[in-house]
Structure formats: C-alpha cells, structure tokens
Amino acid sequence: MTSWFAGVDRKEGRVTTNEPCGVLVIAAHPDDEILGCGGTIALHVARGDIVHVMIACESESLRYSSRDQNVDMDRQMRQAARALGVDDVRQLGFPDQRLDTMPLIDLIAPLEHAIREIRPSVVYCQYGGDLNRDHQLLFKAALVAVRPMEEFIDAIFAFETLSSTEWAYPRTFAPDSWVDITDTLESKLAAMSCYRSELREYPHPRSLKAIRSKAEATGTQCCLAAAEAFMTVRRVSRDGRLPA
C-alpha cells in the first residue's frame, strides 16, 4: 500500500508521488458520503485507489418507513456507489438520529475493526461541528478509531455536508484543503441523483442545482472550476517521506 504523500520508496529507491492507496470514507447517513466527497471519491477511483465506504446509520427518511423503503434505500446507496466506481459499501445499521442514546464505544468498536481490516492510507469523515448530532458523534468516534497508533494512516480529512455543516452555529468549518473535482463533478451529481428520496427542490441545499453551485463556489476559492473542501484532522509523513 502506498501513500498519500510524495517521497522515496525505500525498497525501490524511487519517488512514490500520487500512487494508488487505500481510502476509507466514514459517513453517518446514506448520501453524506456523496455530498461530502463524491467528486474526490471518483478521483481516487480513477487513480486506481481502492475506496471503501462505511455508513453508520440508516437514512433520515427511514424514520417512519416500511421495510420496502428500507430495501429501496439500500438500492439507492448501492447505485450511488456504483456511479462512482465503489464496490465496497458497508452499513453499520445504527438507528438514524439515535447515536446519542448509545455508548460511544459501541460506535468506536466497529470503526476500529474496519480500519484495522482495511488499513487505509487516507480517511475522510464527517465534520464534528455539524448541526446533525449523529455527525458530531460519528466524528468523535472516528477520531478515536484513527488515532496515531494506526500507523498505516497518512491523512485524515473532515468533509462538509450540505444542509448540516452550514446550518450549525457557530459556523466553524474552515477548510484548509481543496480538491479539484472539475473532471468528476458530473459523476458526483449522477451519484447524488441515485438518492431520489434525499433530494429536495432548489433552492434547498440538497438539490442538484445547489450541489453544483456549491462545488463551483468552493472551486473559485482556489481558482478552480469546481472543488470539494476539507479540514485536515491530521497528516503524518513517516519513514523519511515528505508531504506532496
């Protein structure tokens, strides 16, 4: 497994910039992974990285739902993953908006188990300052699961989620990393359109038009046509390698 960082491969004695790596996306609800980093996931897949998506809870729209809707949500989630080229989507099956009723350790344990199995170089997770309580708690649990003893992890980034990050107060999401998704914005939108039950009418932020506008506005912060922005939780450059 290679690294998010550039550097010298000690065995080969060559620079290992931008080579394939393992990626894990940790999201609270189905569609958060697309809203937060759908375009970046598509770029990882295009580079040949193996991307795993882990979703902690059932969807918000399932709160009063029937079994049929549950099956449909499962289908939407898998269609969205396929649209980005992701084969491995796992659900922990926790009840939506109920993470605060359980001990945090119950959330940490399955995350730790998955991280030790997958051994990702890069982890993307929900931002802990979001309005949504599940997002906050999942971030706390993820932070424990990715602690620095897991020395295969090079970088952890928190993503923003439309209709939760910007609805929090105080608004503390201050990005420090931008990924150019000009080439994968259409894939992100195609993946999001699979989540028919989660989409809303414009000007709701969870509408396709608003998602496009957001990506374009985020891009222009760094003179890019479209981007996703992240907050760095931790980056560690080991074994003499340097940050890219």
Nearer to Zn ion, 214 or 241 (CB): 214
Is 29 a residue that touches Zn ion (CB under 5 A)?
yes
Peptide bond into 103 cis (omega under 30): no
Q: How far is CA 4 from CA 29, 47, 62, 157, 240, in A?
A: 26, 12, 36, 12, 14
Would you say 32 or 49 has its CB closer to Zn ion?
Answer: 32
Cβ proximity to Zn ion: between 29 and 241 the closer is 29
Q: Which of 114, 51, 107, 120 is nearest to 80 (CA)?
A: 51
Number of residues this chain uses to bind Zn ion (CB under 5 A):
3
Least distance in angstroms from the C-beta of 126 to Zn ion: 7
Report in angstroms how near the CB of residue 34 gets to Zn ion at its nearest: 11
Among 4, 5, 21, 32, interactor with Zn ion by CB under 5 A = 32
Sign of the alpha-carbon torsion through 42, 43, 49, 51: negative
Nearer to Zn ion, 100 or 151 (CB): 100
Which of 28/54 has CB closer to Zn ion?
Answer: 28
Beta carbon of residue 139, minimum distance to Zn ion (angstroms, whole number): 11
Can you tell me which of 28, 34, 142, 227 binds Zn ion, judged by CB under 5 A? 28
Residues in the chain: 244
Residue whose Cβ sits closest to Zn ion: 29
Lookup: tokens for 225: 């046509």
Structure tokens, 17 = 């910039």
**What values do phi and psi take at 236, rounded to 5?**
-125, 125
- Catalog residues that contact Zn ion under the rule CB under 5 A: 28-29, 32
